[in-house]
Structure 1
């Protein structure tokens, strides 16, 4: 297969340039790709007015930057993101990503930039030329959704929780400033937030041929727009950021709701493995959630102590972090994330 690669630079800073992959021009031969290149590149640049394009070329799949992925079950592939917050060093590539190859391909989360989405798409193309039919976004956070436009251009239907579009819309203006500042303008080059095609407010089945994906919206926990995905053939459960392993979990929803989700236990039948939003795969439910459950219990107890002691928020936040220090082992970026969680927990438990 051949793919259109366009050299593009920021219009207001021509020193910041990179190659962008445009999946809409994919073709079985180089000639076919070239025949489609000009109008596709022109239309893409019109939708990305912050960029100026120059040379376009059609290249074979093997020439595209791609990821190393792990096949965790037959036709199920996983890439573990870096266990860290988004930085210029890691280019925002911190979220776990996955895809399932059946008669078509379904992708679970798209990464933190267009470049990461392109690398994921190239990885898929190295393994199969079957169409990418679905992209499932497990929740709203930028490290999981910013690569989605690549898959929209490839023809995938983008699915998300029914609350996600509004949640993203409220944050888009801020993210389009903060994310390139975090990961660098070169890593962010050409990144736009893609619209959702299908919203989900009840259990939804995606048939891939040979396997089915059950996509289930969850009550407010990590966010108010979390989904989990179960693969029927492998039994794998993809939890998105309802499960953090290694990176300190961050609350953008409800502490109580997240604890209730954990305490409810795994869905039936029991999953064969749990693929978290961050960190390594777990083989059992307890392995997946026990550290997170302990962290949240400590956060709840420390926050209640601060509230009952009459501490104002400004004093409570550092005090809560200090009280939780015995639970810091094994969590990356514990202090900074715990301080934010303390503010959230305080606001939710103050009038308990």
Structure 2
């Protein structure tokens, strides 16, 4: 297969350029790709007015830049993100991503930028030529969803919790400013939030032919739009950021709700647990052990500060100090815990 590559530069920073892979240009031959490429590129640039296109080229699949992926169960492929906050060094590539192959392909989370989505697309194409029918977003955070437009352009339906579009809309303007500042303008070039085609508000099945994925919206926990995905064939559960390891858990929903969700085994017959950040695990206690200790410690430290009559300004540093014995193994512990402390204080002071 041959793939259309567009050289594109930022309109307001003409010296900042990046190659963009346009899935609509995929062709069986280089000649077909070159013939259709200019029109496809013009249409794409018209929908991405922060960029100006220059030349196009067509390359074989083997020449694409691809994420490293491994098969963790039959037909289930996994990429582990870096345990870190967004930075120019990682280009936003911090979330775990995956895809499941049946008669078609379902992508589970799409990466933190257009560039990472393209690299995941390339990784899929190096494994299978099957059509990509779905891209499933486990929650609203940009490190998981900003690559989704790539798969939408490839013909996939964008699937997410029904609460996700409103949650993204409230934050999109600020994220479109802050994320390129964090990862770099070139790494972010062409990134945009994709439209959700299939909102999910009740447990839902997605068919990949003989393979079925079970999607289950969660109560307010890590966010107010978390969604888990279970592959029935292999018993692989994708939890999104309901489960963290390595990168400190971040609360953008409810601490109490998150602890309540973790107290329930969401899939008793699960064989593999794929978290939003960190390594895969083979048992529920192993998957959630470090996170439970962190969140319970945060709850207890916050209650102690509130019971001691501390105002929030004093409570936040006190909570971070009380939490330090739990800091081992958690990246970016102090900064994320300080934000979590503010969220937890606001929630728990009224309980």
In 2, distance between residues paired with 1:214 and 1:14?
A: 45
* 1:113 matched residue in structure 2: 113
Q: Which residue of 1 aligns with 2:20?
A: 20
Name stretches of at least 5 consecutive residues in structure 1 with no aligned partner: none
Does residue 280 of structure 2 align to residue 287 of structure 1? no
Q: Where does residue 157 of structure 1 map in the other structure?
A: 157
Moved more, 201-210 or 337-346: 201-210
Matched, 1:299 2:328: no
Secondary structure of the corresponding residue to residue 220 of structure 1: coil
* 1:206 aligned partner: 206
**3-state DSSP of counterpart to 2:263:** helix
Shift of 1:174: 0.2
Aligned to 1:99, what secondary structure does the other structure show? Answer: strand
2:15 counterpart SS class: strand
State whether structure 2 residue 178 is matched by structure 1 residue 178: yes
Q: Secondary structure at the match of 1:324?
A: helix
The alpha carbon displacement at 1:125 in A equals 0.5
Q: Which segment is superposed worse, 258-267 or 131-140? A: 258-267
What is the CA–CA distance in structure 2 between the aligned matches of 1:241 and 1:93, rounded to whole Å?
15
Aligned residues between the structures: 351
Answer with 225-234 or 28-37: which moved more. Answer: 28-37
Q: 1:146 and 1:27 mapped to 2: Cα distance? A: 25
Relative to the length of structure 2, the TM-score reads 0.99
Aligned to 2:131: 131
CA distance in 2, matches of 1:127, 1:220: 36
Please report how far the alpha carbon of residue 209 of structure 1 lies from its aligned counterpart in structure 2 after TM superposition. Answer: 2.1
Distance apart, 1:266 and its partner CA: 3.2
Q: In structure 1, the residue corresponding to 2:219 is in which secondary structure?
A: coil
Residues 119-175 of structure 1: per-residue CA shift (max 9 Å, x gap): 000000111111000000000000001001100100000000000000000000000
* 1:341 and 2:329 correspond: no
- Structure 2 counterparts to residues 1-352 of structure 1, below 5 A: 1-268=1-268, 270-352=269-351
1-side partners of 2:145 and 2:84: how far apart? 17
Deviation track 1:65-113 (CA, whole Å, cap 9, x = no partner) reads 0012110011110000000111111101000000011110000000000
**TM (normalized to structure 1)?**
0.99
Q: CA deviation at 1:337?
A: 0.5
Q: Aligned partners of 2:230 and 2:66: how far apart in 1?
A: 26
**5+ long unaligned stretches in structure 2:** none
CA deviations 1:266-295 (Å, max 9, x no partner) are 323x21010000000011000000111111
2 CA distance for matches of 1:21 and 1:296?
40
